[in-house]
Every structure is written in structure tokens, then in C-alpha cells.
Amino acid sequence: MVGKTGRTAVWDRLPGLISDLGLDFVVVNGENAAGGFGITEDIFLETINAGADVVTTGNHVWDQKEAVVFAGRHDQFLRPANYPQGTPGRGSGLFYARNGARVLVANVMGRVFMHPELDDPFKSAEAILDACPLKEQADAIIFDFHAEATSEKQCFGHFVDGRASFVVGTHTHVPTADAQILNGGTAYMSDAGMCGDYDSSLGMDKEEPLNRFISKMPKGRMEAASGPATICGVGVEISDATGLAEKIAPLRLGPRLAETVPEFWR
């Protein structure tokens, strides 16, 4: 979710989507929800109240200073798991879906072209999977892999293939066309895209980013774009028997991008 237009679009549409499409579990990335930079506790709580089961983040998790305080108060709020030991909050958790399934959600951040450079995401994921294996302690496992480089995202997907239900990339704000099920049965998409105004630069008003590319000099603050938002995401159907993916398809609702709703949700 990027800015006010992105978060309010999610809050307005999510309850209906859960009801109409029969969604058992919803994960929302909220690290850009507060004016494009970070998330406040009120925004987090409103997102949970709208029907999200978990809110993940990424490199902007601490942009709003209050996040350092409230991160430890809410189990449904995740920051990247590969922050150093002692960082406030948690990077993964086991939750219950509306159908009773045990769902492990982990938020991990990549290191290629990313700041700050955190601990090894592959080792972090290995530790998470060792502690809560699929079909033992968890009926489904979801990774939000927050990273810039698609090569790193793809390699992470292959690394956990067959051991996780779903790997979804975040951070680049642009939905990719590679939703697929990997050879071992893990659903994968390099980036689900943002919920925000696509007449923008990654959800921010396009004039200041454009100016900085051309002049190399800032003229002012980056501001979240305020036009109509498109909701972007991805849906996965997971086998009760194996915990692996059976179907995956993107979700896009709103102006500018071609609308699509996964047929298996209808």
C-alpha cells in the first residue's frame, strides 16, 4: 500500500474481496502506507480491521519512528526476519486462517542493491523452515521476499521450492508477469505490484522523481501520488494435503492496469 490513496483503496475493497472470493488468509505489505514512507500503528490497526491477517514490511519499516515502539506489541506486524538479533518486533509468525489452517508467514529482505544490508536472507529462511517445517508445524508457508533484484528473488524462490507454499516478491512496486508454480510445487511471483496511484513513479508524485533524474538536484520532498488507486496482488490456491500450490494468478483492480481476477477465485 502506497500513501493514502493506496491504503484507503485496500480498506474499502478488502472486506468485499474476502467475502466474494472466499479468501482464507490475506497478507498485505504496508511499509509505504504512511505518505509513502513507513507505517503508523493506526494504519496497521485499520488494515487488520479491514481483514488483513498479517502486515509485512521491508526497508522502510522504521521510517515512522513510532514503529520501533509498536512493532513489539502486535504479533501480526512483521519486519524483515534477517535484521540483527535484538531488533524490535518479529520477522515471522504462525497464524490461523479462516478455514483453520496453520499459516507460517515470514518477511525476509534481500541484499542486492538494498539498504541497509541485512543478514544473509538464505540462512534466515533456512532457520525459519527448520523451526517450522511444512506439513509438520505449518499447513502453509508464505514468504514475503522484499528485494530489488529479480535474480535474487528468483534464486530465493528456487531455494525454498518444495518447502514453502508461496514466495511473493515486494519492493519494486511494479507487478511482474511471471506468476508460476516452480518445479517443487512452490507458487512464485517476482513482484505483486503496489496498491496505489499508477500515474506516478512507484506511487510517488512523478514531478519530483523526474526532476531528480534530470537535474540530479532535489527541489522538494517526495510526496505520495493522490490519484485513483489500483489494487495489485496475487492469489494462490494451496493443497490441504501437501501444503504446496495448485494454482496462482495475479489480481489487479482499478484504473490504468488491465483488470484481472483469478478465475479460480470466482
Strand pairing report for 92-96 and 54-56: unpaired
- 225, part of any domain: yes
Asked whether the predicted pLDDT for residue 160 surpasses 80, the reply is: yes
H-type alpha helices, the chain:
3-21, 41-49, 66-70, 121-131, 150-160, 207-215
Please tell me the pTM assigned to this model: 0.97
Check residue 132 and give its pLDDT: 98
- 52, part of any domain: no
Q: How far apart are the first and last CA of the chain?
A: 24
Domain total in the chain: 1
Which of 60, 146, 171, 173 is labelled catalytic?
60
- 70, part of any domain: no
Q: Where residue 164 sits, what CATH number does that domain have?
A: 3.60.21.10
Check residue 93 and give its pLDDT: 98
Cis ω for the linkage preceding 116 (within 30 of 0): yes
Query: Is 115 a residue of the active site?
Result: no
Asked whether the predicted pLDDT for residue 266 surpasses 70, the reply is: no
Q: Which three cell numbers stand for residue 31?
A: 511499509
CA distance 183 to 77: 31
Instruction: Name the residue range of residue 229's domain.
Output: 77-265
- 222, part of any domain: yes
Overall average pLDDT of the 22-40 stretch: 97
- 17, part of any domain: no
Q: Mean pLDDT of all residues in the chain?
A: 97
- 49, part of any domain: no
Check residue 261 and give its pLDDT: 87
- 251, part of any domain: yes
Q: How far is CA 135 from CA 102, 104, 230, 260, in A?
A: 9, 11, 35, 31
Interior CA angle at 156 toward 91 and 135, to 5°?
Answer: 65
- 118, part of any domain: yes
Check residue 264 and give its pLDDT: 73
Check residue 262 and give its pLDDT: 77
pLDDT in tens, 75-87: 999 999 999 999 9
What percent of the chain shows pLDDT beyond 70? 99
Asked whether the predicted pLDDT for residue 215 surpasses 80, the reply is: yes
pLDDT in tens, 191-200: 999 999 999 9
- The answer to whether 98 and 25 have CB atoms below 8 angstroms apart is yes
pLDDT band with cut points at 50, 70 and 90 for residue 263? confident
